[in-house]
Amino acid sequence: MSEPDQDPEIPASETLRTPIVAVLGHVDHGKTTLLDKVRGSTVAEAESGAITQHIGATAVPLDVVSTVAGRLVDPDDFDLPGLLFIDTPGHHSFSTLRARGGALADIAILVVDVNDGFQPQTEEALDILRRSETPFVVAANKIDAVPGWNPNEDTPIQETYEAQSDNATSRLDDSLYEIIGDLSDAGFSADMYWRVQDFQANVGVVPVSAKTGEGIPDLLTVLMGLSQRYLREEMEIDVSGPGAGTVLEVKEEKGFGTTVDVVLYDGTISEDDRIVVGGTEEPIVTDVRALLKPRSLAEIRAESRFEQVPDVTAASGIKIAAPELADAMAGAPVRVVGDRPVEDVVAEVRAELAEVAVSTEEDGVVVKADTLGSLEAMADALEEAEVPIVRAEVGDVAPRDVTVADTADQPEHRVVLGFNVDVLDDAADEADLADVRIFESEVIYRLVEEYEEFVEELEQAQQEQVLENITRPCRFRILEDHVFRQSDPAVIGVEVMSGTLERNVGVAKFDGDDPERVGEVQGIQDQGEDVDEARAGERMSVAIDGPTVGRQVDEGDELWTYLPEKHAKILEQELLEDIPMDEREALNMYLEKRRSRDPFWGK
C-alpha cells in the first residue's frame, strides 16, 4: 500500500499512526468470529502482502478498508493509514492494554448478540468503557439468526435489510430497539448509526453478521469515520521519538528465552535500543536483542516462526527479545530510553505503575490476576462489592499467597481470588492443609459472585451455629386431660402456641410480669417417638423435671421457655431476621412482659 501524502499541517518528523481497535462483549456473542470475519474479508480483498500481521494485532490498511466497504468509504476522504485490530478480544484484554494511565485502545467495538440482548458481561464491558472514556460502537451481531432472515453475504446493512420480509425486519427492529433501550438504561444515548448526527454524544448501533459478513462494510466505515473525525489529532506521533508501548503478554520463545509481546503506540523501537519494562518488583532496564514479527499472514497465536526486523514504528504489535524479562508484567509500560537519562525513564515507568496500584487493607482477601489491567478491574469490582483486599498482584497463585490468606482475622477473608491465572500445585496442597479457599474464574463478575455466595453460606453456617447455642423463644400451654405423670418428671401433653420448644431448656411461668423458673424440659415425644423439638401448632408429649402438676403448674397453664437475658439480647439484636415469624412473636411477647418491670432488660 502506498503511504498517504504528507499533510501540510503535520511537521515532517510527525506522521499519523493507525487507530487501535479493541473488541469487547459477552461470552459467545461473536467477538472472535467478528474479528476473524474482518481479517478474512480484508485478506480476501487485498493483494498479497497488503495486510500486515503483527504480534497480537492485525493491521488493515485504508485501501483494503475501502475495498471491503465499497461505496461507503472513499479513500480520498481519509488520511489515517487504516485500522489496527487487537487480536485477543475480551474486556480483560482491553483493560490490559494501557497507555499512560488510560486505555491503549483508541476505539472499541461492543459486540451484542441481537437475539440474546444485554448479558452480565455486556454490562461489565460497558462499565469499563465508561470508566476509561473510550469511544465505541455497538455491533449488533447475529442478524442472520433472526427468524425468516435471508442472508446476502458481505453486503451493507441497509441494502440487505431492504431485501428482507416484513416479518424478519420487524423482529430485527424489536431486538435492535431493545438494545438501544438497554444502552439508555446504562446511561448511553444510542441509535442506528445512519441516524446519528453527533457520534461524540451518541453511540452508533451497527447491525451485522460475523457469519455472513452483512453489515461488515458499515462497521469498518463507522470505525474509519469516527477515527478520522474525532481521533485524528491523537493519532499524530513523532516517528523519530523514543518508542512507547504496553506489554500484551510475557512468553517463553525457543531460541530467545523470555520475550514480551508489545503493542507500540508511539515513536520507534530499534534493535539494540535500551528499554525500561514494568516488572513485578521493580522496573527492568535491559537492551533489545531482537525485534520479531510473524511471517506473512500466519495467525500469531499459532505462529512459531518469526522474522527479525531492524526497527518498528507505531502503531504496531511486535515481539521483543531481551535479557532479564522473566519478571515483566502483562499490562506494564515499555519505554525506549533514547537520549534521556535512564533514571528519568525508570521514574516514568514507576509512576505509571503506581497509577494502577491497588489500595489494600490490614485484613482482606488475596487477589491474583493475569495482567495489571485485570488486577485493576478486579479491584474495582471488589471495591464496588465492598470486599477489602489485603494483597493484590499479577501472577499465578503461589504458596506465599496462601500463607498470607492463612493469617486473616476473619474467616471470610481466608480466601485467594484468582482471575485468569493458574494455581500452582504446591499452593493448592497448602490451601487444603490451611483451610484456605481458592476461587478461580475467567470472568470477573462470576468470580465476585462465587465469593459472595461463599460469604453468604459462611454467615448462614455461623448463624446456625450461634442459634444452636442460643435458647429459642417459645410459648406453649398444658393441654387439659393430658397429664400422664404428675412429677419426677411431670409428663404432660402440650400445644406449642408460638416459637420452638427444645430439649434441655428451662421452663418458666409468669406471675404477673415476673417469670418463675419451674423446671427443665428433659424430653419430647411425638406419638412415642423421641424428637429434638416441637414447632408452633404442634402437640407433643413433654417430660419436665422439677414441677408437680397441681402445685407449681396446672392443666391449661401458659408456659414459656426461660430466656437468659444475654440470649434474649442476641436474638433481638443479631438474629431477629434469621428466626421464623412465630419465634419473633414469642420473643416480642416475652420481652414485653420482662420490660414492663425493667425497661432495659435484654438491651
Supply the pLDDT for residue 8: 40
Mean pLDDT of 10-36: 78
For 142-160, the pLDDT digits (tens) are: 999 999 999 999 999 999 9
Instruction: Return the CATH number of the domain spanning residue range 365-465.
Output: 3.40.50.10050
474-597: CATH class: mainly beta
pLDDT digits (tens, 9 = 90+) for 479-523: 999 999 999 999 999 999 999 999 999 999 998 888 999 999 999
What is the architecture of the domain spanning 14-237?
3-Layer(aba) Sandwich (3.40)
CATH class of 239-355: mainly beta
At residue 1 the predicted structure's pLDDT band, cuts being 50, 70 and 90, is: very low
At 189, the pLDDT band (50, 70, 90 cuts) reads very high
Residue 13: the pLDDT is 46
Q: Give the HSE-up count for residue 377: Cα atoms under 13 Å, Cβ half-sphere.
A: 35
Distance, in Å, from the CA atom of 81 to the CA atom of 50, rounded to the nearest integer, reads 12
What's the mean per-residue pLDDT of the chain? Answer: 88
Do 14-237 and 239-355 have matching folds? no
CB atoms under 10 Å from CB of 338, counted, come to 16
> Is 168:148 a contact under the CB 8 Å cutoff?
yes
Answer with the residue of higher pLDDT: 432 or 443. Answer: 432
The candidate with the shortest Cα–Cα distance to 262, out of 199, 193, 314, is 314
C-alpha angle with apex 553: 547 to 556, nearest 5 degrees? 145
Residue 12 has pLDDT above 50, yes or no: no
pLDDT at 301: 43
The percentage of the chain sitting over the pLDDT mark of 70, rounded to a whole number, equals 91
| Count of H-run helices and E-run strands, the chain | 14, 34
Give residue limits of the domains in the chain.
14-237, 239-355, 365-465, 474-597
Highest mean pLDDT among 244-258, 292-306, 388-402: 388-402
User: Closest by alpha carbon to 183, among 140, 142, 229, 231?
Assistant: 140
The pLDDT of residue 42: 54
pLDDT, average across residues 171-190? 96
Helix (H, G, I), strand (E, B) or coil at 236: strand
Residues 186, 124 contacting (CB under 8 angstroms): no
From residue 75, give the alpha-carbon distance in Å to each of 2, 84, 353, 398.
12, 17, 40, 53
pTM above 0.85, yes or no: no
Q: How far apart are CA 405 and CA 96, in angstroms?
A: 26
Distance CA 350, CA 315 (A): 23
Q: Describe the chain by its helix, strand, coil percentages, rounded to 5.
A: 35, 30, 35
Q: Quick check: 298 pLDDT over 60? A: no
Residue 41: band (very low, low, confident or very high) from pLDDT cuts 50, 70, 90:
low
Q: Is the pLDDT of residue 45 over 60?
A: no
323-to-35, 261, 279 alpha-carbon distances in Å: 33, 14, 13
Yes or no: say if 158 and 194 are a contact pair by the CB < 8 Å rule.
yes
Give the pLDDT mean for 570-594. Answer: 92
**CB contact at 8 A, 284 and 328:** yes
* Residue 517, C-alpha cell as written in the block: 423458673
pLDDT category at 356 given cuts 50, 70, 90 is: confident
Residue 450's CB is within 10 A of a number of other CB atoms, namely 16
Q: Residue 7 and residue 557: Cα distance in Å, rounded? A: 100
The mean per-residue pLDDT over the stretch 18-45 comes to 77
